[in-house]
Amino acid sequence: MNLETAVDLYLQRPSGDPWPPITFRRDDGPSGTLVSVDDLGRQGIGTVTLDFLADTAAEVEGFDLTVEALATFSGFGVGQFSATGAFEHRFERNA
C-alpha cells in the first residue's frame, strides 16, 4: 500500500487572532512535509499549539508519525536563540 495516499494529514485552522500565512512544502524525503510560519507576533507569546487531523484509508492498520520542530525566538530581552525537538508516535487503527 502506498502510505503517501493512505494517510492524509490536515492542519486545523488555529483559533484566536488572525495568524500570519502558514505555508506547506514537500521535504526532500519521500513523505516529508515542511510547515512554516514566519513571525507569530503576539500569537507566539506563551504556548503555541498546532492541531493536526489524520484521515486514513479504511485498510490502514496504523501508521508511524514523526514530527521534528525548529523554533527561533527573538526579542523579550533574550536576544535570539533556537530550539529543536522531535516527537514519534505509532497510531493504531481505532476499533
Quick check: pTM over 0.75? no
Q: What is the pLDDT of residues 41-68, one digit of tens each?
A: 777 777 778 888 878 776 777 778 888 8
The set of cell numbers assigned to 57 is 484509508
pLDDT at res. 85: 85
Contact 66, 57 (CB under 8 A): no
Query: Residue 5 in 3-state DSSP?
Result: helix
Q: What is the pLDDT of residues 15-46, one digit of tens each?
A: 778 888 888 888 777 677 788 887 777 777 77
pLDDT at res. 95: 54
Residue showing cell 486514513: 56
State the Rg of the chain over Cα: 16
Query: How many CA atoms, within 13 angstroms, populate the side-chain half-sphere of residue 50?
Result: 13
pLDDT at res. 1: 45
